[in-house]
Structure 1
Amino acid sequence: MPKLKASQTQEENKHVVVVGTSAGGLSALIKLTSQMQKDFDAPILVVQHISADATGNVLLEALRKNSNLICEHAINGTKLQSGHLYLAPSDHHLMIADDEKMLVTKGAMENRSRPAIDPLFRSAAVAFGNRTIGVLLTGYLDDGTAGLTVIKKCGGICIVQDPAEADYPDMPQNALNQIKIDYCLPIAQMGVLLSKLLSRKPGKRKPIPLDISIEADIAMRVLSDLPSVNALGKQVPFNCPGCGGVLWLMNKSSSLRYRCHTGHAYTAASLLAEQSKKIEETMWTALRMFEERKNLLTTIAEKEKGAAGKSALERANLSQVHIDRIRALLQVNDKGTSSDTPI
């Protein structure tokens, strides 16, 4: 990957602010950006988990209405400017190249999401080093935790919303559980904090660890390869739910993280959630097929006489046994809690 031109970063944008959120993100982002003035001295890049068929226009218009910043969808190759907020388009990752231009790609999903938070945070840390400020807000599961870890390793600042006030506390709480966060506070206090942080003169930049550079390069190139993932970890006996390929366990990650050679990446929580989703899809398919089989065998039993009809009826009854078992499994709550939290 091309080396960062440090002088370019210092002259054009001293800092960059990257923000990640998921469930509950609309109101959280409005509360955050409404505190910022037109002369905000850094570009802000935002990843909000949204479905692939959404446009993101509702969020963008809400931010424009409630913020003094220039809010726009990120466009590939656009140069970052202070006072601008760039929102990741739906079904695309948003990243920062080493020339302070945005990359908008259709790379493999990370943590079941595209856009995902970790690729943005990771690329910002590689491009800006200790001039990176990462902010993690409300959301399910733990996307963003690995990204904040990278920001921390590269000397940047990590901020998370106080889980006690978050609509969905999973994401900030998971980050607090795994990283020494610099600031944990309510959103209402983040505007003043960010202004203070931007006024500070950055210290000496830390070297970027090789494993972080490799992962950033994988995401920027859209596709991974065997030498890259072999350098990052070791193969494990799990398959990637996204493509069916082999997974590698990342060696230098502070928490359990996995990658496949085509580029999909998962935390342990997101991998378990995706496996659960795939299992459910498979079971619904099996249920449909058993029901069709039972219906066909019942029809045969009604038409056939003698042993053939009796055999078909017995097989139809056996199919009903399988149907009942699959339905029972589909109704089981295996989340380890009585709550109805979506996976």
Structure 2
Amino acid sequence: MPTRDLIVVGASAGGVEALRAFVAGLPEDLAAAVAVVLHLPAGGTSALPAILQRSGRLPAVSAKHGMPLRPGRIHVAPADHHLLVVEGAVHLSHGPTENGHRPAVDALFRSAAADRGAGVIGVVLSGALDDGAAGMVAIANRGGLTIVQDPEEALYAGMPSAALRHVSVDHVLPAGKMGAVLRDAVGVEVPDGDDSSRMLRLEAAFAANDGGADPREVNELGRPSDFSCPDCQGTLVELEVDGSRFRCQVGHGWTAEALLDAQGVTLEKALWTALRTLEEKANLARRMCADARARGSDLLVQRFQRTEEESTAAADVLRNHLMSGSFLRHNHAEHST
């Protein structure tokens, strides 16, 4: 039977504060490796290892490809790379994003579930939207232990609440009190749950492949949807799973909630572009009207005045719509470190 010796932790918005509290509660003799993903912007480097090193008693390092997952050490995902578990070691990849993220919480959780089965303990901390929920389902299905930060304590309750909706979680705790539970949970032999499904193995492989997914394998996992991928505009396949999830032909993964949020971002950008175009059109018509007036061309003056008035009126309507509460969308706030 596998031994519980790997703790995988996922966080997003508000995650730095939650991770600091979580790490502060870990015992210095923890008999398990810890792997951490905090959603980060693609550029730059992360100061998270140094922050976590100062916050608790365990050493924290930026994960390197091929590094063994050592008990009593915190392995932190670097920016723009998935942190995955392959044959008990760190595997860094530039594979397809999950909900627009790389590193992604779900990618880490799935790979750990596929590689270590019931030996995994999954921890979801503060974050927006529903990242981590699908990965926690995979961990629970393999017999792993699941722990979620109390949504009442989390700065952003989206991720903890989503995990609670999708999984019968073993423990719901404040981040700072998880260490006591983990001290007793690690090192215990436990029976594996369900065998690793083909979908779990394929999705873990997609994340590990820098070249993306094989479209034929993606198509095997579901049926074409009416939606396009926000990352590459390819057709999304709706996966045959509980809850709506999607993958495009090259492997970008989306939950329905994250897809809706991304479509809102795209729509907002398009509307601001339309507003700018209307304002430029009104300005150009105003200039052409002045030139026509200087030449004494009354017909052109009237034509350009109408164009200016129509463009200005349309721009005013669009600006009022954008600035009003009717267009407020859920911002997927992220903390960079």
TM-score when scaled to structure 1?
Answer: 0.91
Residue in 1 aligned with 2:76? 87
| CA shift for structure 1 position 14 | 5.0
Tell me the SS of whatever aligns to 1:191: helix
| CA shift for structure 1 position 32 | 1.1
The whole-number CA distance in structure 2 between the counterparts of 1:322 and 1:217 is: 49
Tell me the SS of whatever aligns to 2:75: strand
Residue in 2 aligned with 1:25? 15
The whole-number CA distance in structure 2 between the counterparts of 1:48 and 1:180 is: 23
The whole-number CA distance in structure 2 between the counterparts of 1:209 and 1:77 is: 25
Residue in 2 aligned with 1:229? 218
Aligned 8 A contact 1:43 1:82 in 2? yes
Aligned 8 A contact 1:130 1:206 in 2? no
Overall identity of the aligned pairs, in % = 35
> Aligned Cα RMSD in Å?
1.8
Residue in 1 aligned with 2:307? 315
The whole-number CA distance in structure 2 between the counterparts of 1:236 and 1:332 is: 32
Letter in 1 for 2:231: G
| CA shift for structure 1 position 275 | 0.3
The structure 2 residue matched to 1:325, chosen from 307, 311, 317, is 317
The structure 1 residue matched to 2:156, chosen from 144, 155, 168, is 168
Residue in 2 aligned with 1:276? 264
Note if 1:102 corresponds to 2:90: yes
Of the structure 1 ranges 199-208 and 283-292, higher mean CA displacement relative to structure 2 is found in 199-208
Change (3 A) 1:204 1:265: closer
Change (3 A) 1:188 1:272: same
Once the two structures are superposed, the pairs formed by residues 149-168 of structure 1 within 5 Å of their partners are 149-168=137-156
Change (3 A) 1:333 1:212: farther
Once the two structures are superposed, the pairs formed by residues 121-160 of structure 1 within 5 Å of their partners are 121-160=109-148
Deviation per CA, 1:189-233: give whole Å up to 9, x if none.
211111111132122464101111111111111301221111111
| CA shift for structure 1 position 54 | 4.2
Residue in 2 aligned with 1:72? 61
Tell me the SS of whatever aligns to 1:212: helix
The structure 2 residue matched to 1:255, chosen from 227, 230, 243, is 243
Deviation per CA, 1:124-164: give whole Å up to 9, x if none.
00000010100001111110000000111111111101111
Aligned 8 A contact 1:28 1:187 in 2? yes
| CA shift for structure 1 position 93 | 1.3
Letter in 1 for 2:206: I
Note if 1:197 corresponds to 2:189: no
Letter in 2 for 1:319: S
Letter in 2 for 1:56: S
The whole-number CA distance in structure 2 between the counterparts of 1:247 and 1:270 is: 13
TM-score when scaled to structure 2?
Answer: 0.92
The whole-number CA distance in structure 2 between the counterparts of 1:325 and 1:129 is: 55
The whole-number CA distance in structure 2 between the counterparts of 1:162 and 1:221 is: 34
Tell me the SS of whatever aligns to 1:199: coil
Deviation per CA, 1:157-201: give whole Å up to 9, x if none.
111011111111111011111211111122232111111111321
The whole-number CA distance in structure 1 between the counterparts of 2:319 and 2:81 is: 36
The structure 2 residue matched to 1:46, chosen from 36, 48, 67, is 36
| CA shift for structure 1 position 329 | 2.7
Tell me the SS of whatever aligns to 2:186: helix
Give unmatched runs, 5+ long, in structure 2.
333-337
Of the structure 1 ranges 307-316 and 323-332, higher mean CA displacement relative to structure 2 is found in 323-332
Residue in 2 aligned with 1:3? none
The whole-number CA distance in structure 1 between the counterparts of 2:121 and 2:187 is: 13
Residue in 1 aligned with 2:335? none
The whole-number CA distance in structure 1 between the counterparts of 2:34 and 2:325 is: 40
Tell me the SS of whatever aligns to 2:117: helix
Deviation per CA, 1:259-300: give whole Å up to 9, x if none.
101121111111011000001111111111111111111100
| CA shift for structure 1 position 242 | 0.8
The whole-number CA distance in structure 2 between the counterparts of 1:159 and 1:187 is: 10
The whole-number CA distance in structure 2 between the counterparts of 1:119 and 1:144 is: 9
Deviation per CA, 1:32-86: give whole Å up to 9, x if none.
11122332111100011122234211x2222111222120111112121111101
| CA shift for structure 1 position 321 | 2.1
- If asked which structure has higher relative contact order (CA below 8 Å, sep 6+), I would say 2
Residue in 2 aligned with 1:115? 103
Deviation per CA, 1:314-340: give whole Å up to 9, x if none.
11111112212221331244578xxx8
The structure 2 residue matched to 1:210, chosen from 198, 206, 209, is 198
Change (3 A) 1:136 1:14: closer
Aligned residues between the structures:
327
The whole-number CA distance in structure 2 between the counterparts of 1:240 and 1:67 is: 40
Give unmatched runs, 5+ long, in structure 1.
1-5
The whole-number CA distance in structure 2 between the counterparts of 1:325 and 1:224 is: 43
Letter in 2 for 1:39: D
